[in-house]
Structure 1
Amino acid sequence: MSSFVPSTNLDTSNSIVPNDGFFPDIELDDVRKRTGLSDVFTNDRIVAATQDAIMEVNAVLADWVDDQDAATLADVPAKSYGETSEKTHWYLTAVCHRVRSMMVETTRDYDSTKSGRDRADALEATSDRWMQSSNEAVARLMGRKRTTVDLI
């Protein structure tokens, strides 16, 4: 009797995705912890999504950064919770939740049955929710009021 045991040889090292100097670098372990991404997703794939998320969030925050009298996000006055400032917390949340949205959005089931379409629709709603959470974190980082608008 023989058996086949698949091996993925995943790289589980804690890679660090460098940032622009103002915002903190992002650790993959932190991304996985904040988003619940399992080792089904390779580090290479998460690094690529994290780089995209960093660039997108940084672009949204560019004007806000220009208005700050600080060299780094850690230097921007903010309340601290433990060792993390409120601003850093919201930034990491914005990036990590955007990563999760991208990962969910690009992970589709190839099943074309009705149940497969239903799962894909559920994933799309989940992806939208993670993106909404990312956008809310950006707004909180910039000190904007939180507003919800529904189209009728």
Structure 2
Amino acid sequence: MGFVANGNTTPSQIIIKSDPFYPSIDLDHIRKIVRIDGVVTNDRLKQVIIEEVIDVNRLLISLQTQVEKLSDLSKTMIDDLPDTDYLYLSAVANGLAAKINENYRNYDSSNTGVKKAEQAECTVDDYRRNKQWAIQQLKGENHTVVELI
């Protein structure tokens, strides 16, 4: 277990698996790419990852009728992994980052804490947008959807 006061962590080796259709999520890897330190415990992080996996899987459920595994939709391989694995990880990681930033920004109630919260608002919105874009790419949809009224 990491020393929480300075935010250090030790490897947890926790892998979150869902339906075999989707790739597994490595808690340590997602902690690194989203830059979440030890202030967020492994148990809390695992819970939020599971919530995001459930949400992303629900949004992508229609793809299960098209292929056997999500990676079967891949058009290219990047660093020996299907591009769909990266997009799936991006969707989960960006949803996770939005939730973590939203939940942990209010612990500092000083003026700097309030300013950081206001700055994080854009970051939370950016994370949500990036999650949506990754999901749309996996579905083969454009980023912009325009509807005439």
Which residue of structure 2 aligns with residue 43 of structure 1? 42
Secondary structure of 1:41's counterpart equals coil
Name stretches of at least 5 consecutive residues in structure 2 with no aligned partner: none
* Alignment counterpart, residue 74 of structure 1, candidates 71, 74, 79: 71
**1:47/1:115 CA distance change after superposition, 3 Å:** same
Q: 1:77 to 1:115 in 2, by over 3 A?
A: closer
- Give the superposed CA RMSD: 2.1
Residue 121 (structure 2) aligns with: 124
Deviations 1:82-116 (A, max 9, x none): 21111111111101111111111110334444433
Match of 1:88 among 85, 90, 97: 85
Question: What is the deviation of 1:60?
Answer: 0.9
Alignment identity in percent?
29
Q: Which residue of 2 aligns with 1:3?
A: none
Question: After the TM superposition, which segments of 4 or more aligned residues of structure 1 sit over 6 Å from their partners?
Answer: none
Instruction: Name whichever structure is richer in helix by fraction.
Output: 2
Shift of 1:120: 1.5
Q: TM-score, normalised by structure 1?
A: 0.81
Greater Rg by CA: 1
Please say if 1:109 is aligned against 2:106.
yes
- 2-side partners of 1:32 and 1:62: how far apart? 26
1:135 correspondence with 2:104: no
TM-score of the pair, normalised by structure 2? 0.83
1:4 corresponds to:
none
The separation in 2 between residues aligned to 1:148 and 1:119, in whole angstroms, is 32
